Structure 1
Amino acid sequence: MRRVRGRELAGWAAALGLALIVVGYLASSPRSTLMFDDGDSLIVALVARSILDGGGGDWAMSSVLFFPEIAVFTALDAVLPFDVDGVLAANAVVNVLALYGTIRLAAGRRVEGRAPVAWSVAALATFCLLILTESSTSRDALELASLMLTTTYYSATVVGVLLAVALCRRVLDDTSGGVTPVIALGAVAAVATMSNPLFAAWATVPLSLILGAVSLAAPPVRRHAPALIGALVAGSALGFLGRIPFSAWIANSGAGYVQPSEWAHAVEYYAGLAIERLSTPGGVLAAVVILTLTVLAVVRTAHASDSGIRLVAMAAWVLPLFVIVGGIAAGTHAARYLQPLVFAPILALVALPRVRMPRAAVTRVVPTVVAIALLVGSAAAVPRIVQAASAPDRDLACVTDWVDASGRTGAGQFWTIRLPKLHASDPARLVQVDHELHGYAWLVDRRDFAVGAVSFLVEDTQTVPWNLRTTAEPTALVECGRYRILDYAPATLPLGPARS
């Protein structure tokens, strides 16, 4: 028992080392903007701040409600003595650890002839390698692994999908016929779907198809498959019903994203992203890794020694295939919807048997080398994380200091105002608007619009030229590096009706 616990602790220690390494890399790379500054990425932090300040809010959310992400970030923000960037970095580490936990669960129990901890660490290391190939500042790039380190690009849904695969495997591996994993599967499906309906497309439908296929290949599985499929479908149905009380928060149901007539444009769009990704050495390396894992998964599907392994192996290649075909058929145009392309294939590694090696190499040399490498890498990563999370942003500070000192309320457009809004002493002092000064109700607290008028505007290079319904001219221009404040005081600019 002590040796088993030691192995599990070693696995978690390795996962922590890998998490620190990739978070340190991303935090100091150009892609750090997605973690710390991106307008989409800040909604979880804004909601968490409102909760901790004692306010509820009348939030205008997307089709994703981010319940698990908000819970985790709020808890971290409540207990850690960090500013918001430090909490975002800590949240990224937690996301990687959660990913390892689900991978480890999917690897199954340790039995003679298998090494689930070692293969789980190998799977996580492979995923981290994919993160290290990504450096684009674009949220629309086909660099999907690093999205796992953010709070708003479906990290909880990724964990939920892998957890669903793991629970299905545990049921197939368990001959006792216990119902606890089945109930847990239904609960995961319900919570994940309520938070993000994409879970149904990433997990419920493809996993149901996989379970059906596995039961055809292995008749003994037929007594488990109906219960598992039922748990997935019923859980997802409950999740959709659970969204009804929060319908006032959902500014966009997501139905408009499904446009089957746009399938040809979707093919062109995703092909363009793939070509752009393959134009870099990192993109080529990532493609080779994913292709290798996919081939391995197909081989393991054909030669699996039991139904649990076959299910995990099938998930490694069926989920990406289903998502690609489904995304094109639905006419979608968003790279983030394709994340199963990078997280599902790593399941091929936990569907492997243990590679036989000389005992001395396994028990001494390999673990020692890996431990030293992870120790050195994580030790080097921590200062990079601290430096990135605490680096002063003078332009941002210029804006927030001016806003706080003015005691007045201003406005700015989505991509411009989100970051200053989060860092201002009172986020309500900065109202999110469009270029015509209509309230822009998207990932924001709609109570902000009650102010009715503002006396200054904040703009930057992302700001669409203003089209204001007024003849008033700025009485002062305040230059703050990449930002500029247009001060209209003592005049005020009326806000138009809010839209989303």
Structure 2
Amino acid sequence: MRHGWLRELLGWLGAAAIAVIVTGQVASTAREALLLRDGDSLVVPMFVRSILEGQGWDWAMSTVLFLPESAMFALLRLALPVGIDASLLVNAVINVIALYGAVRLVAGRRAPGKAPVAWSLAAIAAWGAIAVTETSAVRESAELASLLLTTTYYSATVIAVVASIGIARRVSDRSGRRQGMLIALGVVAAVATLSNPLYLVWATVPLGAVLGVAALRSDDRARMLALLWWLVGGTAVGLLGRIPFTAWIENSGLGYAQPQLWPESAAYYGGLALDRLSTPLGWGGAVVIAGLVVLAAVRTARASRRGERLVAASAWMLPLLVVIGAIALGTHAARYLEPVVFAPLLALVADPKVLPRLSPALSRIATAVVAVLLLVGAGLSVPRVVSAATASDADLACVVDWVDESDRSGAGQFWTVRLPKLHLEDPSRLVQVDHQLNGYSWLVNRRDFDTTAVSFLVVDDQSANWELSLGARQVDVVECGRYAIYDLAPEELPLGFPHS
């Protein structure tokens, strides 16, 4: 216990090393496109740039407001003299370190015979082992672990859910006064729900079910019910807090629930699972997850303490209930199933005992070996992260330079236009539209729609076929690699009414 602070510091450093290793590996595969160039993945950088440069607050957001993610990215942009890609990759590393912090909260307090730091690192290593098996650029796939590396796909919600379980565990294990921890649970639930109501589905409902069952079986029913009420109350406050942001929210999320489509939803998610299992890497990731779920079930059955049972039960009940709920609601989005990947990690910290038959000398040797491996791995991964952060994109530069020099306004479709738009001197020069040239008000600054006509279009392979009548207009085509610019000058095309 004398060196507890050193163990904690080494744990954070180990988590940082794993974060760099995993980020470097994922960024060196085709999945790098999802981290740095995907239309969805760019919403936080675009929003933060808009706010920091005073381009206006009239944004059209989805159900998710990305408040914690935007705050973190804004801090990085203000603190680091690096480009957008570098900021995104640094943010990826921070997301993993934050997940470690949440898992460490779940692991509980240090005590004789316990090794919460080591087991928390083991949990993050297990996540990393799954993440490095994910190598495709496909956003709609069962490759869910690496989504934590993005600023868009609910990293803050993942961390909030794990932290909520950690708070519940600390309250369960702790005797005496616990009001501060209960308040902390309410605050986490409120902020997480305010930013992303998916917290309700990932944490409030399944964790509430775990707490409800625990209240029925526990000899400390008042404690379990207090956790339940603060969880539900915080969630309710978060939902009410979304009311002032109604003007920003283009989709309340209610439209995503289509229970009548549950057979199609089951087939969709089943297809994603089969695709994932069609490769050796996919099998590797699935084996890790399956092993953790089995461990969680065993530890639930054998648990002797409330906190241990709560964590172990959460590790398998959250994925189960989320999958059942996603199918029952008829949803069709792989990212909704992220608890399948991160919740089972908690099986490793449900009962973080020191391994038997491990002498102090052997323990020190093992720690030194792991430390060296992590240090070497992180050192070898830094150049890979730097390479991804500084890689040139001649096609993108061609479009950005042409638009900046033209001093005119153009348009493009969602998946095509967002990356060039982010890098322009004036992002409003590229208006986000649909294939009929109506403004597409989705994850974008509505100020852009002050533009009423455009004189060029930016297209690529992701653009849908345009439904436009160009008549006798002269169209010059500027080739920019994977992009093409259809220059109509001096003619202009009028923009239609914006819609979401």
State the TM-score, normalized to the length of structure 1.
0.98
2: CA distance, partners of 1:226 / 1:472: 72
Q: CA RMSD in A?
A: 1.0
Residues 56 and 447, structure 2, Cα contact 8 Å, conserved in 1: no
Q: Is the 8 A contact 1:300 1:351 kept in 2?
A: yes
| Deviation readout 1:361-420 (Å, 9 max, x if unpaired) | 543211011011101100010000000110000000000000001111110000000000
Matching of residue 419 in structure 1 with residue 431 in structure 2: no
Partner SS, residue 171 of structure 2: helix
| Counterpart secondary structure, 2:477 | strand
Which residue pairs with 1:318 in the alignment? 317
**Partner residue in 1 for 2:270:** 271
Q: Is the partner of 1:249 in helix, strand or coil?
A: coil
The one-letter amino acid paired with 2:279 is T
User: 1:305: how far off?
Assistant: 2.2
The 4+ residue runs of structure 1 with deviation greater than 3 A are 360-363
1:165 paired with 2:141, answer no
Contact 1:431 1:448 in 2 (8 A): yes
Residue equivalent to 1:351: 350
What is aligned with 2:376? 376
Do the aligned partners of 1:472 and 1:488 also contact (CA within 8 Å) in 2?
no
* CA deviations over 1:33-52 (Å, ceiling 9, x no partner): 11000000000000111111
Tell me if 1:432 matches 2:432: yes
3-state SS in 2 of match to 1:348? helix
| Residue 261 (structure 1) aligns with | 260
- Once the two structures are TM-superposed, the CA of residue 173 in structure 1 deviates from its matched residue by 1.1
CA distance in 2, matches of 1:160, 1:407: 44
CA distance in structure 2 between the aligned counterparts of 1:499 and 1:56, rounded to whole angstroms = 19
Alignment-mate amino acid for residue 347 of structure 1 = L
Could you tell me which residue of structure 1 aligns to residue 68 of structure 2? Answer: 68
- The number of residue pairs the alignment matches comes to 499
Shift of 1:57: 2.4
Q: Which residue of 2 aligns with 1:122?
A: 122
CA distance in 1, matches of 2:215, 2:451: 60
Secondary structure in structure 1 of the residue aligned to 2:457: strand
Aligned 8 A contact 1:474 1:486 in 2: no
How far apart are the structure 2 equivalents of 1:337 and 1:451?
35
Aligned-residue offset at 1:217: 2.6
Residue type of the partner of 2:68? Answer: P
Partner of 2:155: 155
Equivalent in the alignment of 2:93: 93
- Which residue of the partner structure matches residue 10 of structure 1? 10
**Alpha-carbon distance in structure 2 between the residues aligned to 1:314 and 1:358:** 28
Counterpart Cα distance in 1 of 2:282 and 2:475 = 50
Tell me if the contact between 1:436 and 1:469 (Cα under 8 Å) persists in the aligned partners: no
Q: 1:105 aligned to 2:105? A: yes
Residue pair 1:410, 1:454 contacting (<8 A) in 2 also: yes
Does residue 296 of structure 1 match 2:295?
Answer: yes
| Structure 1 CA distance for aligned equivalents of residues 140 and 482 of structure 2 | 22
Alignment correspondent of 2:80: 80
Q: Deviations over 1:237-256 (max 9, x none)?
A: 11111111111111111111
Contact 1:160 1:192 in 2 (8 A): yes
SS in 1 for 2:81: coil
Residue identity matched to 2:89: A
Whether contact under 8 Å (2:27, 2:385) holds in the other structure is: yes
Measured against aligned partners, the alpha-carbon deviations of 1:428-479 in whole angstroms (never above 9, x if no partner) come to 1100000110000000001101111111000001111111244253442110
In the TM superposition, 1:207-286 aligns within 5 A as: 207-220=207-220, 222-286=221-285
Q: Is the 8 A contact 1:472 1:491 kept in 2?
A: no
Query: What residue in structure 2 maps to residue 478 of structure 1?
Result: 478
CA distance in 2, matches of 1:472, 1:73: 46
Q: Is the 8 A contact 1:171 1:177 kept in 2?
A: no
| Deviating more after overlay: 352-361 vs 128-137 | 352-361
- The DSSP-based 3-state class of the residue aligned with 2:246 is helix
Q: Per-residue deviation at 1:225?
A: 1.3
In the TM superposition, residue 307 of structure 1 has moved relative to its aligned partner by 0.3
CA distance in 2, matches of 1:361, 1:342: 35
Distance 2:465 2:136 in 1: 26
Cα displacement string for residues 135-157 of structure 1 (whole angstroms, at most 9, x for unaligned residues) = 11100010000000000000000
Q: 1:171–1:181: 8 Å Cα contact kept in structure 2?
A: yes
Aligned-partner Cα distance in 2 for 1:10–1:207: 31
Q: Give the whole-Å Cα distance in 2 for the aligned partners of 1:71 and 1:189.
A: 17
Per-residue deviation, residues 6-25 of structure 1 (Å, max 9, x unmatched): 00001001000000000001
Matched residue type, 1:308: G
Supply the AA of the counterpart residue of 2:223: H
Any idea what the Cα deviations from partners look like across 1:166-217, whole Å, max 9, x if unmatched?
Answer: 0001111110122001001001111100111100010001111101212223
CA contact (8 A) 2:297 2:313 kept: yes
Map 1:479-494 → 2, pairs under 5 A: 479-494=479-494
Partner of 2:388: 388
Q: Partners of 1:142 and 1:358 in 2: how far apart?
A: 38
- Shift in Å, 1:357: 3.2
- Alpha-carbon separation, structure 1, partners of 2:77 and 2:315: 34
Find the residue that maps to 1:224 and give its secondary structure: helix
Q: Determine whether 1:306 maps to 2:305.
A: yes
Provide the TM-score with structure 2 as the length reference. Answer: 0.98
**Could you tell me which amino acid in structure 1 is paired with residue 265 of structure 2?**
A
- Cα distance in 2, alignment partners of residues 265 and 405 from structure 1: 48
AA in 2 matched with 1:321:
L
Return the alpha-carbon distance in structure 2 between the equivalents of residues 7 and 217 of structure 1: 36
- Report the CA distance between 1:288 and its aligned residue: 1.0
Structure 1 residue runs of 5 or longer lacking an equivalent are none
Secondary structure of the corresponding residue to residue 64 of structure 1: coil
| Alignment partners' CA distance in 1, 2:339 and 2:375 | 30
Distance in 2 (alpha carbons) for counterparts of 1:197 and 1:376: 40
CA distance in 1, matches of 2:464, 2:301: 55
Q: What is the SS of the residue equivalent to 1:248?
A: coil
Distance 2:314 2:361 in 1: 32
Match of 1:137 in 2: 137
Match of 1:20 in 2: 20
State the 1:287 CA deviation.
1.1
Question: Is the 8 Å Cα contact of residues 436 and 467 (structure 2) preserved in structure 1?
Answer: yes
Aligned position for 1:182: 182
Q: Percent identity?
A: 57
TM-superposition CA deviations, 1:295-344 (whole Å, max 9, x none) = 11011111112101110001100000000100010001111000000000
